[in-house]
Amino acid sequence: ERLCRCYKHTARNCGTAFHAVVPALLPQVTSWYEERPQSCFLYVCNVCFTQYGGSVSALAPTFAESFGRMATATFRVLSASPSALLDSPDIVDDFFELCGKVRATRAHVDRAFNTGIICPETSMDTARTHLHPPVGEGNPRRGRRTVSW
């Protein structure tokens, strides 16, 4: 965790000079996260993405690969037991913060969304349509809606 804190502060304070470290740092941090899932590794990726994800498209493949691998590892951790979400609040918080930033600037890491982990085109309307088909002839719940969005 101390090493991650060092990386985090260095990334924030060195500006573009730290850019050269990111292509080697993110795969390493991602490997550490896959071996031992701790939220500090997600946070380092989050800080790097915040600092360099929106402005340097040359890093898009690195960010996409790291995000995809971290998402896979996170889903493995969170599906390990029924109480995993409650047992890992830091991982949940840091992962969803990272997802929000990636989603907001997805043009730079578009490949990450082609992994099947996150589908950016799914909206609440699409989800509602799949979960609750429109009321009509083919719907047995015709005439009533049980969920409103």
Query: How far is Cα 122 from Cα 114, in angstroms, rounded to an integer?
Result: 13
SS (H, E, C) the chain: CHHHHHHHHHHHHHHHHHHHCHHHHHHHHHHHHHHCCCHHHHHHHHHHHHHHCCCCHHHHHHHHHHHHHHHHHHHHHHCCCCCHHHHCHHHHHHHHHHHHHHHHCHHHHHHHHCCCCCCCCCCHHHHHHHHCCCCCCCCCCCCCCCCCC
- pLDDT given at position 7: 83
Identify whether the C-beta of residue 92 lies closer than 8 Å to the C-beta of residue 83: no
- pLDDT given at position 12: 82
Total-model pTM: 0.68
The pLDDT tens digits along the chain (149 residues) read 888 888 887 888 887 888 888 899 999 999 999 999 999 999 999 988 888 876 656 888 888 899 999 999 999 999 999 898 899 999 999 999 999 888 877 654 454 445 444 443 333 343 344 444 455 555 444 444 333 33
Query: How far is Cα 83 from Cα 85, in angstroms, rounded to an integer?
Result: 6
